[in-house]
Amino acid sequence: MMFTIATWVRSSPARAWSLSLAAFAVALATRFATDSSLPAGFPYLTFFPAVILTTFFAGVWPGSLCAVLSGFSAWYWFIAPHATFAVGPSVLIALAFYVFVVGVDIVLIHVMHEALEDLEAERAVNQRLLEQQGAHVQELKARQRQQLLLQRELSHRMKNTLAMVQAVVSQSLKNASDPKEAAAMAAARIQALARAQDVLTATDWAASALADVVKAAVAPLVDGGDRITITGPNVEVEARHALGLALAIHELATNATKYGALSVETGTVAISWSVTQEGGFVFEWRERDGPPVTPPQRRGFGSRLTERVVPGYFGGQADMRFEPSGVIYELTGSLLPVEGTQAETSPA
């Protein structure tokens, strides 16, 4: 408590110097009041406490001022001969004694305060070190938790990817009449997944722009012309949406290259999507100016993938129509969009 008060007084020069003058005045008044009752030989009796208290609470220089004023006052009024600044052996001894005592007091009090300030500074340093150590410990724990989450997430993604690859391979080879053709088809589908994963990796698998997923899926078909156009709002999709949509686009593009609009030079493909405020999602693949379209006689894994598997990722359904003008594939479902503006139709 006393050190707190001392710090408060020392923080203001006005308070410190005022205390010095007030302590001297009280000591002088008290010495005059008790002069008649005190025996001879005690000229500094009331001044020593004033100097000590002033130095403790106000500092070295205010304490020194109090000591000087007190010394001259005691010399003038309370050391014989009185009311003079006479110098003699007894006066010199008294003054030397006074200077020695108050000098030692001031030095000791100053050293004590310096030691206290050093102690407080050391405590502050230790407190900062403890806080930094605590922060490092919390950061280390947070990193450990994050690493564990990343390991679990990586394991989950690997399992999902491997399961999808396994399904693609097994379904591609199932009941295949030509093993080489089935192997090539499986490899192409896996490459489509790989391109979609490249897009996801660029965004740390958090979410990917749908336009980037679509462009990556049709990239092998782009020949520098404007046969494939992409239209849709800026929207982000989750990893499962991106992978599923990449597989669907790969199947549609493969069929279009073999039998549909992309099998002739005049054919075109328009890819578009839309998102409603409620989260509804519609994706459309529309072929035009290709050869006459007839429904296939056999429905293979590619058809099941585009019409049954992929819609499940969006919680919706798909419709494949074989119109005379070209194949139309429409996928309806839901996903969470981000705000964006409608992109203009542009060549892929």
Is residue 290 within 8 A of residue 262, CB to CB? The reply is yes
51 and 198 co-located in one domain: no
Domain encompassing residue 43: 2-133
- How much helix, strand and coil, in percent to the nearest 5, is found in the chain? 65, 15, 25
CATH of the domain at 279: 3.30.565.10
Last residue of a domain, one of 102, 133, 164: 133
Among 79, 106, 133, the domain-final residue is: 133
Torsion sign over Cα 157, 161, 163, 164: positive
Burial of 235 (0-12, 13-18, 19+ CB in 10 A): buried
The answer, as to whether pTM is greater than 0.75, is: no
- The band of 272, judged by pLDDT with boundaries at 50, 70 and 90, is very high
Mean pLDDT for the chain overall: 81
Q: Say which DSSP state 326 is in.
A: E
Q: Which residues of 126-146 are buried (b: 16+ CB within 10 A; e: fewer)?
A: eeeeeeeeeeeeeeeeeeeee
Residues 106 and 202 in one domain: no
- pLDDT digits 0-9 by tens, 61-114: 999 999 999 999 999 998 888 888 988 888 899 899 999 999 999 999 999 888
Residue 225, domain member (yes or no): yes
In this structure, which amino acid lies at residue 53? L
Q: Within a domain: residue 162?
A: no
Domain boundary among 133, 163, 183: 133
d(CA 39, CA 43): 9
Residue found under tokens 């239209």: 231
Residue 192: closest CA among 251, 133, 148: 251
State how many domains the chain has.
Answer: 2
User: Residue 265 and residue 252: Cα distance in Å, rounded?
Assistant: 17
Interval 288-308: pLDDT, tens: 988 888 887 776 767 777 888
- For 271, phi and psi rounded to 5 degrees? -110, 130
